[in-house]
Chain A
Amino acid sequence: MAQADVEESSVELKEEVETPDEDNLIKVRNLVKFFPITGGLLSKVIGYVHAVDHISFDVPKGKTIGVVGESGCGKTTLGRTILRLVEPTSGEIYFDNHDIPNLPSNQMRHLRRRMQIVFQDPYASLNPRMMVKDILSEPQMVHRRIIQRKFSIPAFVFLLITFLGFIVSLIINQFGSAIDLSLPGVWSFSIPLPSFSPSDLDFLNSSLFPVVIYSSFALFLLFLFLAYSVRKGPSQNQINAYILRILREVGLDKEHLNRFPHEFSGGQRQRICIARALVLNPDFLVLDEPTASVDVSVQARVLNLLKGLQKKRNLTYMFISHDLSVVTHMSDIVMVMYLGKIMEIGPKNIFTLAASKVHPYTSALGGALPVPDPTYSKKAIILKGDVPSPANPPPGCVFHTRCPEAQKICTTDEPELKHKEHGHYIACHFR
């Protein structure tokens, strides 16, 4: 098993645990996702890609956590595992205190409405044969089907019980002389029945009996109406009005409803993807490189839109990107990943802090970024070599093969993710 291969390198966020749970929408503890590598004639498992390797962090409600790192470091896998689009190998994920990996699938379906993802490539993630209005009403339909099942089963049970009660009382009443349906003081009405029975069954004709019959009939009608109205759902007009509202929220309009994805520019397509994520009114959005395929002028508008939506709807974001300046702009907290592990969690300005205050990888990333300001000078240490394969990560500190500060201990002992100051964690022996 994959877990067995890994020595206990549990990374605990001791301090963070003390913060009250209500403040954190997402809590991740020791999350692991390994992908098996198969090889040979029999497709035997010959190893594992350590995509996400013992990761722990929290995301406070209404905040944005930025996730940065070079390609292949596990950003996408992390985002998808949290939403359980990928099953974790091990570890705990809590969304609003719901234990995500162990949630039964019917509850998961319900919860999924509250957590959505926007993918990097708006071209690949929209069905080219669907019009915008269908793309946007599709998730709502899916969701409506869930509501329907939830409501119609109890409705059906109640219907059955009240109906049976009605029949049974009628049969019992056969023993009386008549079914008395009089409401005392309102009217008097009784259905006469041929009487074969002794008169000690007369309690059935007591004054309470019609009340029971009428109320069960009223309940019958109520549940019939309820079951019917749920099955019918919102009308097409209501859906259209709702979709239009969302579409306007992302800066598109009525005329776009009846168009196909190919009729839109890259930035507009990404807006459609964002709109689709918003349709179910989520609390949490994973934004996986949402602007990687658009130009800067478009990127600016998408980022402004996302910030505006977050404020308006009190959304919590996980903003994944390899672009340090975009992540800095969008995030409250920044998490730096390398080979499936967290190197650092800190405030959004970690890339411009003094090298001694941050993880060596963080400062190397910040130094490597070409800043569009010729007067901005920085001391850049250029990292040597390539990122090692996540199928065979280096022992000790995973960064030691490229770290300019690596010592002997780094090649053998894995550094713990230690709390430095409020909300700032670094995994390095020398920080």
Chain B
Amino acid sequence: MTSVIDQDQEKILKIRGLRVHFYTFEGVVKALDGITFDVFKGESLGLVGETGCGKSVTVRSIMRLIEEPGKIVEGEIDYHGKDILTMKDKEVRRIRGKKIAMIFQDPMTFLNPVLRVGDQVSEVFLLHQEIPEAKRSDGKIDKKKLKGLLRTKVTDIFKIVRLPDVEELYDRYPHELSGGMRQRVMIAMAIASNPDIMIADEATTALDVTIQAQILDLLNDLKDELRTTLIFVTHNLGIIANMCDRVIVLYGGQIVEVAETVELFQKSIHPYTRGLLKAIPLIHRPKRELDAISGVVPNLVTPPEGCRFHPRCYMAAENPEIKERLCVKERPDPYEYFPGHFVACHVRRLERVDEDAGLKPETVYEKIETQ
């Protein structure tokens, strides 16, 4: 499942300095504070973090789906050499749903309750694919033939997502299906357009563990068969460990750590990631007590200056001098701690630079600053 990512691998998405604000009654919610990362072609990338850390806003920005009162105030999202954020609406629509497809947590908000599920999936085909077989010799479309062709296409794709009794299912309405089946219909709609990138935003969160296992298994197989890139958004570190090649950890609208999955779980560097991993109970390794992170997630209207984690950070508390000078003032930029393993933390960076140069943290820092 996990493979070493070749750094020279083709980058399908390049996200640079993404900043998103929501203009609400309480004030401006600074939801994303300059997010930068790459998505490699064919990889399965995880976006993990606690509620409100900006996972959904990040992936919705990729689809340019940020609506009022939100606004992408800064940033660049490069897809095949073009910036999605400055594209014409028409161009975005051509990408959205066709080249980049999304699977949401709650399919009921996405499915039309009064249309048969089969017809809804066939619309995706009509929208995104030419169906030349349905054309008559005079160039006009044979409606009846088209309908039959679409039905076969839909039932075929239902079989791919392992739905049962596909012929009968075509004529059912969304509310007649179980949660797991609806999610399969959503996945069918996502893969119907043969996308480059599939984004699953908490796609299995509402499902029971046995149904979740079915859907995860399906997504894993589809990813291999269709060779799409998969972006997996979840708060569940277990899903990340089982599904992703690489992980991005978010906290309060900032990226705190990026690493390959195995490395992240075995050698996490950032104090937040470490705290998160220590806080979860493990079924195979019982703990007497869980190590909890103190404090609460930041209010993003008035987020902490500098590193947004500093009010809760034990590492900053252990290094009061660095905390005063940097953590509370400057946003730490991701630093390549190990090859391909980025950490956004002042203390960690200084410690690393210190190790390399054999110098004291302050002097090293001064040296870098003046470079």
A binding-site residues for B, Cβ under 8 Å: 70-71, 265, 267-268, 295-301, 303-304, 307, 322, 324-326, 328-329, 348-349, 351-352, 364-376, 380, 382-387, 402
Give the residues in chain A near B238, CB-CB below 8 Å.
Answer: 369-372
A295–B209 CB distance below 8 A: no
B358 to chain A, nearest CB (A): 34
B214–A382 CB distance below 8 A: yes
B208: interface (CB < 8 Å):
yes
Q: State in angstroms the CA–CA spacing of A373 and B280 once bound together.
A: 11
Q: State in angstroms the CA–CA spacing of A380 and B212 once bound together.
A: 13
Can you list 30 pairs linking A and B with CB atoms under 8 Å apart? Answer: A70-B210, A268-B296, A295-B51, A295-B297, A296-B50, A296-B280, A297-B275, A297-B276, A297-B279, A297-B292, A297-B293, A300-B280, A300-B291, A301-B292, A324-B209, A326-B281, A349-B286, A369-B283, A371-B282, A371-B284, A372-B237, A372-B277, A372-B280, A374-B241, A374-B261, A376-B284, A383-B214, A386-B211, A387-B208, A402-B210
B242–A296 CB distance below 8 A: no
B290: interface (CB < 8 Å):
yes
B235–A351 CB distance below 8 A: no
B250 to chain A, nearest CB (A): 13
Q: State in angstroms the CA–CA spacing of A188 and B17 once bound together.
A: 102
B binding-site residues for A, Cβ under 8 Å: 1-2, 50-51, 164, 178, 180-181, 208-214, 216-217, 235-243, 261-262, 265-266, 275-277, 279-287, 289-293, 296-297
A365–B210 CB distance below 8 A: yes
List the 10 shortest-distance A-B pairs measured between CB atoms, nearest first: A370-B238, A329-B281, A368-B213, A300-B292, A300-B279, A300-B290, A372-B237, A295-B50, A70-B208, A297-B293
Give the residues in chain B near A295, CB-CB below 8 Å.
Answer: 50-51, 235, 297
B283–A328 CB distance below 8 A: yes
B62 to chain A, nearest CB (A): 24
* Identity of the chain A residue whose Cβ is nearest the Cβ of B204 in the assembled complex: A370
Which of B235, B237, B243, B292 lies at the interface centre, i.e. has the most chain A CB atoms within 10 A of its CB? B292
* Identity of the chain A residue whose Cβ is nearest the Cβ of B264 in the assembled complex: A374
A372–B181 CB distance below 8 A: no
B241 to chain A, nearest CB (A): 5
Give the residues in chain B near A298, CB-CB below 8 Å.
Answer: 292, 296
- Apart from A304-B289, A329-B281, what 14 extra A-B contacts exist at CB < 8 Å? A70-B210, A295-B50, A295-B297, A297-B275, A297-B276, A322-B208, A325-B282, A352-B284, A371-B241, A372-B241, A374-B241, A383-B210, A386-B180, A386-B181
